[in-house]
Amino acid sequence: MSYFARIASSYDSLRGMAYHDDLVRVVSKYTDVGSILFDIAGGTGRLSIPICIELGLRLELLDRSDEMLSVAKDRVAKEGGIVGGHPVVFHKGDAYSIFNNKVRLDHVRLFTWMNAIHHIRLSFVPQLVNVMLKASHLLILSRSKKQNDRSYLGSQFKGFGSKETRLYDMDEIISTCEKSGLRLAEANEYSYPKTVPKNTLLKEVEEKKYSTFDLYTEDEFMDALKDFRERLTVEPSHLRFQSECMILVFTRL
């Protein structure tokens, strides 16, 4: 079973919504009521559905995981099938399937690509730029390699930083996008305070609720887990740390 199939039902509660307000503020600058937001690898829609409701945007959401899409569809059903005043258009498939001419993209005002550039990779950008309408926008939300290294697990769980080689630093993202025909509109780094009961975090780690753990062999993971359990014994019952991310917006020239 794939990682996202395994965690789809608990994904939303696991990830939280710390950056919702910052996202809404940024998205509102590049859209108007009724604009189309196309969420690439949108998963359960935990970020894009509330944004579109709040700003009155039409949502199209693509993901390749049936299980993640099914959570998104249930969520939309709970809204009476309507988000931002319109039905949501779902696309099931790999990110590259949007280039097969069956998906209409010439009306999209803003593409969002959140917490997923490390899954699809930046090599996707030049092709995406080719289908973007002039003056439309691409918003990328991600954790940089440096931010991941500084995170609680990055600094406390053996190998969490060094194993996670899929993340990019901000400069790499900007340079790839600019070489592909996008102009940087804004780049922001955010840091949110988090308080988590240590038993909760330990349970999430034991259940491998972060895709980075899929990069360990079973022996490496068990060894790192043992070390982590020992470290936690000296910590207070609640762990306090910062959770960081970056939001970049580009404009199609």
Question: Minimum CB separation from ligand SAM for residue 174, in Å?
Answer: 20
Tokens coding 22: 């910052």
Two tokens, residue 68: 């993640």
Answer positive or negative: Cα dihedral of 36, 24, 150, 224.
negative
Spatial separation of the C-alpha atoms in residues 108 and 116, rounded to whole Å: 19
Instruction: Give the ranges where 79-123 is alpha helix by DSSP (H).
Output: 117-120
Q: Does 170 bind ligand SAM (CB under 6 A)?
A: no
**Does 4 interact with ligand SAM (rule: CB under 6 A)?**
yes
Identify the H or E element spanning 203: helix 198-206
CA gap 125, 138 in Å, rounded: 10
Applying CB under 6 A, the span of 63-71, 83-91, 148-156, 213-221 interacting with ligand SAM comes to 63-71
CB 232 to ligand SAM: min, Å: 25
Query: By CB under 6 A, which span of 113-121, 168-176, 191-199, 233-241 interacts with ligand SAM?
Result: 113-121
Question: Which residue is at the shortest CB distance from ligand SAM?
Answer: 43
Binding pattern for the stretch 31-60 against ligand SAM, x by CB under 6 A and - elsewhere: ----------xxx--xx-------------
How far apart CA 184 and CA 137 sit, in angstroms, is: 10
* Candidate list 26, 68, 76, 201; residue touching ligand SAM; CB under 6 A: 68
Q: Does 65 bind ligand SAM (CB under 6 A)?
A: yes
- Of the candidates 115, 144, 176, 180, which one interacts with ligand SAM according to CB under 6 A? 115
Task: Check binding of 244 to ligand SAM (CB under 6 A).
Answer: no
Is 191:243 a contact under the CB 8 Å cutoff? yes
Task: Provide the token pair at 16.
Answer: 């939280």
Contact (CB, 8 A) for 141 and 23? yes
Binding region for ligand SAM (CB under 6 A) = 4, 41-43, 46-47, 63-65, 68, 94-95, 114-116, 119-120
